[in-house]
Chain A
Amino acid sequence: MTKNYNFTNLDILFVDDNKNMHLLIKSLLLAMGIIKSRGCFDPNEMFRIMQEQTPDVVITDLTMAPDNGLELIKRIRRGENNVDPYVPILVLSGHTDIATVIEARDAGATEFLAKPISVGSLYDRLVWMIEHPRPFIKAAGYVGPDRRRAMRGYEGLERRDETAQETDGSEGALISSGGAR
């Protein structure tokens, strides 16, 4: 059973190029008591806003025009323009295949939530990020949360990549499955 938290002080920044998703995300966050959420329609706008004030959590779609969310995640993890590279990043995506989840994880995403979303599943992922913070790995080919610890909802789907394991030490147990409340 997921613990209940008071989220009033959280500051969430989300990016999605669809205005109806904006309305939905804003509404779900507000229902959870998150008054301070900022939405933007493209990664560049998000970067500009992140520079003004670091959010507590970033939520991003993957498929956006003209840029994509994977590149945004990599830019954040590189700390481009002095943004906080350690900020937790939750991916919300309609691409639900495991290859996309792995791509998001390898770009440096903290958690992944497949669309369609519900208030319960979104709440669950936020709680997971609060209760299971992960150290970061900085290696030649990867910067992001330690991938040896599973993402919520994808436990048990293991991939072994011995080459990567030898070079950056962060490959091994992978991401997880099934986690909605």
Chain B
Amino acid sequence: MTKIVDMGNYEMHHPTEKLKGKVSNDGALSMEEIEKRVAQNMEKLTAEFLKGLSESIITVNGALTALGSREARPEDQDTIFRHAHDMKGMGGSFGYPIVGMIGTALSDLTDEKTKLAALNIPLIKAHMDVLRWIVDQKIKTEEDPRAAPLLAALEEAKSKL
């Protein structure tokens, strides 16, 4: 039963508090145990993530090709943005923060603030090339020495392209 209090120009509702009644401290798992359980399943999840990422790369490259053609469509830009946005959110969640970093850069390059005609296709392609290589090499972080030269080249490309 929700208690409703009239406050004049708005109402204050006090709904029955259900959530606390559904949990207890008895039989609670420790965070150590929970993290152990997550770790046991993470390898399988990461394999799925990388498989999905490879599929995303194919889709994004297809949309990039379309954008480079005469019949560039807003849907292609939206496709790239959505995949990039997913990479941004999922990279770190699956233990690949470098994928999140590239995803963030790609999101910024393709978000709705950027008009279709103003898209920097060569720079987007450069990011996709780096991403492909990162996935092939299973590089997880920007601290990996193999990533450093490519990330540096990408930084340089940003100032030139």
Contact = CB atoms under 8 A, between A and B. Distances in A.
B25 A138 contact: no
A56 B93 contact: no
Interface residues of B, number: 45
A86 to B, nearest CB: 4
Contact of A94 (B24, B27, B41, B89): B89
Interface string B1-45: 010000101111111011110111111111100110110010001
B19 A31 contact: no
B90 A115 contact: yes
Contacts of B37: 30-31
Contacts of A131: 20
A136 B12 contact: yes
A24 B18 CA distance: 26
A10 B28 CA distance: 13
A32 interface: yes
A20 interface: yes
A65 B10 contact: no
Contact of A6 (B2, B23, B38, B41): B23
16 contacts: A2-B31, A6-B27, A24-B45, A31-B34, A56-B22, A57-B19, A65-B82, A115-B90, A116-B92, A119-B35, A133-B17, A135-B13, A136-B14, A139-B9, A139-B10, A169-B7
Give the 3 A-B CB pairs with smallest separation, nearest first.
Answer: A116-B92, A94-B89, A115-B89
Interface of A: 2-10, 18-21, 23-24, 27-28, 30-33, 56-57, 63, 65, 86, 88, 92-95, 115-120, 123, 129-131, 133, 135-140, 146, 167-170, 181
Interface of B: 2, 7, 9-15, 17-20, 22-31, 34-35, 37-38, 41, 45, 48-49, 52, 82, 85-86, 88-94, 97, 100, 107
